[in-house]
C-alpha cells in the first residue's frame, strides 16, 4: 500500500474537534457551513465499528453504518474530503480493520490518545496510550503503512515539557501527517486553564508536520492570535464550537440562538436521531434554568423543539 502523507490537509486550518455524541453529522455539516476547514467524527471504538453494515439512503445520500439495528456512524459525501474519522483503539490490527471499513467515506484517520475516561483507560485506549508510547507508535505505524489515507494523532500533555516533546518526536517519526495537542494533562479537567505556553516548544521540536493546537479556544480571534504569535499551524475548537458552531465565521459569530436553529434544520435534513439532537442542543444551552432549556428537557420529538 502506498503511504499517503498529506500535511496540507491540516495546514492553516480551523477544525471541529472530535466530540462524542456532539460531533455527529448535523454538527459537522453546520460547522463546515460556518467556515470550519476540517471536521472530526466523535471517537468510535474499533470493536464498535467492526461488524457494522454500510447502507446509503438514496434520497439524501447519507451513509449509515449500523449494527444490530443501532446506528454507529453516519456520514455524508459532501463532507468526505474534510472528514477525519477518529478511532479509539489499543490494538494495531483492530485499528486497521476498523479504518479499512470506513475508508471510502472519509479523508483521514485520527488516533485518540487523550481520552481520560475510565472505559478508555481500562481497555488501554485514549490517554492510556500516552503511558505506552511503543504501542501508540505501533498503532500509528500500522495505520500509516497500510491504510492509504493520511493519519493523525491527538494527545494530551505529559508531566513535563521534555516528556511531551520526546513523545511528539516519536509520533512524528511514525509518518503521521499531523499532530493535535490538547494542552492539558490527563488529570486536568476542562475548567482548568489550557497551557498555551506549551505549544511553542512542541512546534520547535516537531518541524516536519503541522501541529494543531487544542484547548480553551472560544473565539476566532484567539485562533488567529496563536497562529500569529507561535509556530502553531492550525487550531481545533471543541466546547467553543459546541456552544456556538458559528465560532468558525471569520466575521464573528451569530447568536447562540440562531446557531441552535440552524443546527435543528441540519438535524431535520439528515434525519438525525432525536435523542442525539436533543442531547446536543442541551449541551449548547448552558443555562439550565432558562425556558428554552426546560422546554428542551421535556421534549420528546423534533416537532416539539424545531421552534427554539
3-class DSSP state of 91: coil
Instruction: Name residue 16's beta-bridge partners.
Output: 39, 237
The smaller minimum CB distance to ligand FNR, of residues 199 and 217, is found at 217
The residue within the footprint of ligand FNR, chosen from 175, 215, 245, 253 (CB under 6 A), is: 215
Residue 253 interacts with ligand FNR (CB under 6 A)? Answer: no
Q: Which of 284, 283, 277, 307 is nearest to 295 (CA)?
A: 307
The smaller minimum CB distance to ligand FNR, of residues 190 and 250, is found at 190
Helix (H) or strand (E) holding 166: helix 161-172
List 113, 115, 153, 183, catalytic entry: 115
- To the question of whether residue 18 is assigned a binding role by annotation, the answer is yes
The residue within the footprint of ligand FNR, chosen from 238, 262, 284, 296 (CB under 6 A), is: 238
**Spatial contact of 194 and 232, defined as CB atoms under 8 Å apart:** no
Residue 114 interacts with ligand FNR (CB under 6 A)? Answer: yes
Phi-psi category of residue 9: left, alpha or beta, with phi > 0 → left and psi -120 to 50 → alpha: alpha
The smaller minimum CB distance to ligand FNR, of residues 112 and 244, is found at 112
Residue 217 interacts with ligand FNR (CB under 6 A)? Answer: yes
C-alpha cell at 242: 459546541
Residue 17 interacts with ligand FNR (CB under 6 A)? Answer: yes
Residue 216 interacts with ligand FNR (CB under 6 A)? Answer: yes
The smaller minimum CB distance to ligand FNR, of residues 154 and 278, is found at 154
Is 168 considered catalytic here? no
Q: What are the distances in angstroms from CA 277 to CA 51, 183, 248, 267?
A: 25, 29, 21, 7
- To the question of whether residue 227 is assigned a binding role by annotation, the answer is no
* Helix, strand, coil percent content, the chain, rounded in steps of 5: 45, 20, 35
Residue 115 interacts with ligand FNR (CB under 6 A)? Answer: yes
- To the question of whether residue 8 is assigned a binding role by annotation, the answer is no
Residue 263 interacts with ligand FNR (CB under 6 A)? Answer: no
HSE of 117, CA atoms in CB hemisphere, 13 A: 7
Residue 26 interacts with ligand FNR (CB under 6 A)? Answer: no
Core vs surface per residue 241-258: b (16+ CB within 10 A) or e:
bbbbbbbbbeeebbebee
- For ligand FNR (CB under 6 A), the number of binding residues is 23
Q: Which residues are known to be catalytic?
A: 115
Which residues are annotated as part of the binding site?
18-20, 86, 154, 182, 238-239
Residues contributing to the annotated binding site for FMN: 18-20, 86, 154, 182, 238-239
Q: Which residues bind ligand FNR (CB under 6 A)?
A: 17-20, 22, 42-43, 86, 112, 114-115, 154, 182, 190, 214-217, 237-240, 242
Amino acid at each position: 500500500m502506498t503511504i499517503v502523507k498529506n500535511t496540507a490537509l491540516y495546514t492553516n486550518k480551523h477544525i471541529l474537534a472530535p466530540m462524542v455524541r456532539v460531533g455527529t453529522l448535523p454538527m459537522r455539516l453546520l460547522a463546515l457551513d460556518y467556515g470550519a476547514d476540517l471536521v472530526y467524527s466523535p471517537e468510535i471504538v474499533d470493536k464498535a465499528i467492526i461488524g457494522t453494515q454500510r447502507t446509503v439512503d438514496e434520497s439524501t445520500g447519507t451513509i449509515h453504518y449500523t449494527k444490530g439495528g443501532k446506528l454507529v456512524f453516519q456520514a455524508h459525501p459532501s463532507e468526505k474530503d474534510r472528514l477525519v474519522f477518529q478511532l479509539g483503539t489499543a490494538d494495531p490490527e483492530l485499528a486497521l480493520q476498523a479504518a479499512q471499513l470506513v475508508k471510502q467515506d472519509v479523508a483521514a484517520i485520527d488516533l485518540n490518545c487523550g481520552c481520560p475516561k475510565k472505559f478508555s483507560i481500562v481497555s488501554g485506549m485514549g490517554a492510556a496510550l500516552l503511558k505506552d508510547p511503543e504501542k501508540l507508535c505501533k498503532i500509528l505505524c500500522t495505520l500509516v503503512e497500510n491504510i492509504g489515507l493520511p493519519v493523525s494523532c491527538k494527545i494530551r500533555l505529559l508531566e513535563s515539557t521534555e516528556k511531551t516533546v520526546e513523545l511528539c518526536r516519536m509520533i512524528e517519526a511514525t509518518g503521521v501527517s499531523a499532530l493535535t495537542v490538547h494542552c492539558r494533562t490527563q488529570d486536568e479537567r476542562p475548567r482548568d486553564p489550557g497551557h498555551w505556553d506549551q505549544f511553542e516548544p512542541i512546534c520547535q521540536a516537531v518541524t516536519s508536520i503541522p501541529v494543531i493546537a487544542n484547548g480553551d479556544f472560544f473565539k476566532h480571534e484567539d485562533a488567529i492570535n496563536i497562529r500569529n504569535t507561535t509556530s502553531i499551524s492550525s487550531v481545533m475548537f471543541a466546547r467553543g464550537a459546541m456552544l456556538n458552531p458559528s465560532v468558525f465565521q471569520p466575521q464573528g459569530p451569530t447568536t447562540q440562538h440562531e446557531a441552535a436553529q440552524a443546527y435543528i434544520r441540519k438535524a431535520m435534513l439528515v434525519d438525525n436521531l432525536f435523542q442525539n439532537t436533543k442531547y446536543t442542543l442541551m449541551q449548547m444551552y448552558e443555562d439550565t434554568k432558562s425556558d428554552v432549556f426546560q422546554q428542551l428537557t421535556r421534549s420528546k420529538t423534533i416537532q416539539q423543539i424545531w421552534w427554539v
